[in-house]
Structure 1
Amino acid sequence: MVYGIVVAGGQGTRLGRKKQFLDLAGSPVWVRAVRALLDAGVAPVWLVVPREDVDKLSVEADDMGLPLRLTAGGETRFDSVYNGLREVHTWYAEVGLSNGAGSAGSPSPAGPALVAVHDAARPFVSSEDVKNVVRMAAQTGAAILARPCAETVKRVEAGCITSTVPRETLWLAETPQVFRLDWMWDAYRRVHMPSAATDDAWVMEQAGYRVHVVPSTAENRKITTPADWEYAQLWAQQRWGRRDG
């Protein structure tokens, strides 16, 4: 069992608009991200959006026939993921276990339940990459999609380079990030300084869990800046055949 959380709770500060709702070759960005998980067999999916958008998105998801559950995000990414995780954990305890998933704290015959957390701002992730990271998490309990760092990395202080960081061991974290539900629930409830969490792997690391890396094989760029959005439109045109909705 693999449940999904798609984080779409941002306000689009750097882009100037809520990027998750922008049209990308005929579909909203968040729909592209959700479908990537669904196509890989991750279901159901909890979509975490700004509180003011929950009702509107619930109607849109129903109209599209998507197996989604909507929940409100928080002030930070950590808060938004935690809100979604709490919903998943409650649903699993009430529904998943009654469907033969085993008992709380113990895996079912098919293995422990997993949670795949994905950023709505990464609409291009391939279903095969999602499947690969899910398979690794099923074996190890914790895995993320990531890309080896190809650029030269400099450490800078006061505007000057102080050293060059060897890139052989550096990876750029992506999503989805997939973890055992019981491990993730434990980590999120006892992490210190949650404001420092830039991704879910950081939370797991702080809680003492070993997180494995799965190399991404396809385009999985995150939409953050206006330049990213321009690139996303061009790439979407090549992939899905339209530039504008």
Structure 2
Amino acid sequence: MRYSAVILAAGSGTRVGLGYNKLLYKIDEETIIEKTVKVFEQDASCSEIILVISKNDEKDMRSLFGNRVQFVFGGATRQESSYHGVNAAHEDIVMIHDGARPYVSQDELNRCKKAMESYDAALLMVPVKDTIKVVKQDVVDHTPERSTLMAALTPQCFKKDLICECLKKAINSQDVFSDDASVVERLSNTKVHVVMGEYTNIKITTKEDL
């Protein structure tokens, strides 16, 4: 199964506090975004890599990659950036991945591909380890049953026509969505299939993550 990889890299990463896009931070002499892209470059099923970037980072990003990576500019929201990337894809299956998740494994990609042979939408998830509290106005409102809770990872995988249609609706609705799977959950009748991920597939969000 062939697919298009859409890697979101247009965020500013202000929570890390570097003063520049955290994806350009080097770990072991390699930037975070290079590590992320490499995983997809090494997957023979990935026919194209579309990197969604900020205009401010264009020069730096283009200097890192060869001809296999395509570049599109992001939008004001996550759903706009995802839409720009997905709209540039040529395959019927797209995997949308956070550029700040450089440790996604080949096994995870293989499980995603297997799921997309049977489903129209799927995402990597892991069971939460901690007890989660719902808090309102600095007071615990309730404690949901931990066995029903899972943390969403990426990539999140979709039939291209489905996610394009849902992202268009999301942009027009002006609602805020924290990930692409929630767009499909709320704006279509399609069920999103859960694919077991790995705890090592972390998202670099704060300075502590670095």
Question: Shared fold by TM > 0.5?
Answer: yes
- Secondary structure at 2:147 match in 1: coil
Q: Following TM superposition, by how much is the alpha carbon of 1:164 offset from its aligned partner in structure 2, in angstroms?
A: 1.1
Unaligned runs of 5+ in 1: 97-112, 230-245
Structure 1 residue 193: Cα displacement? 3.5
1:49 aligns with 2:53: yes
**2:193 partner amino acid:** H
Which digits, 9 at most, give the CA deviation of each residue in 1:57-95, with x for residues without a partner? 223312xxx61001111222112111111212xxx3xxx
Q: How far 1:218 sits from its partner (Å)? A: 5.0
Aligned to 1:201: 181
Asked if 1:72 is matched to 2:53, the reply is no
Opposite residue 116 of structure 2, the aligned amino acid is: A
Alignment partner of 1:213 is 2:162? no
| Candidates 71, 83, 98, aligned match of 1:119 | 98
SS in 2 for 1:143: strand
CA contact (8 A) 1:3 1:43 kept: yes
Q: Confirm or deny: 8 A CA contact 2:94 2:159 kept in the other structure.
A: yes
* Cα distance in 2, alignment partners of residues 166 and 115 from structure 1: 33
The whole-number CA distance in structure 2 between the counterparts of 1:39 and 1:80 is 24
- On the 8 A contact 1:54/1:71 being kept in 2, the answer is no
Using the alignment, how far apart are the partners of 2:145 and 2:199 within structure 1? 24
Tell me the amino acid that sits aligned with residue 53 of structure 2: V
Alignment CA distance shift 1:194-1:177 (3 Å): farther
Structure 2: runs of 5+ lacking an equivalent: none
Please say if 1:30 is aligned against 2:9: no
Instruction: Provide, for residues 2-26 of structure 1, a one-character-per-residue CA deviation record: whole Å limited to 9, x for no partner.
Output: 0010000011111123111111212
Q: Which has the larger radius of gyration?
A: 1
Distance (whole Å) between structure 2 residues aligned to residue 27 and residue 80 of structure 1: 25
SS of match in other structure, 2:198:
coil
The secondary structure found in structure 1 opposite 2:148 is coil
Superposition deviation, residue 55 in structure 1:
3.7
**Is 1:16 the counterpart of 2:9 in the alignment?**
no
Q: Which runs of 4+ in 1 moved over 3 A?
A: 192-195
**Residue number in structure 2 paired with 1:165:** 144
What amino acid is the match of 1:204?
V
Which residue identity does 1:226 align to in structure 2? Answer: K
Q: Is the 8 A contact 2:132 2:144 kept in 1?
A: yes
Kindly provide the amino acid, as one letter, of the partner of residue 63 in structure 2: V
Count of residues paired in the alignment? 204
Aligned equivalents of 1:218, 1:171: Cα separation in 2: 11
Task: Measure, in 1, the Cα distance between the counterparts of 2:135 and 2:64.
Answer: 46
- Do 1:78 and 1:194's aligned partners in 2 also have CA atoms closer than 8 Å? no
Mapped contact 1:154–1:162 kept (Cα < 8 A): yes
SS in 1 for 2:202: coil
TM-score by length of structure 2 reads: 0.91
- Superposition CA RMSD, Å: 1.6
Matched-pair identity in %: 28
TM-score relative to the length of structure 1: 0.78
1:164-202 deviation per Cα after TM superposition (whole angstroms, max 9, x unaligned): 111111110000001111111121122354541111101
Cross-structure match for 1:186: 165
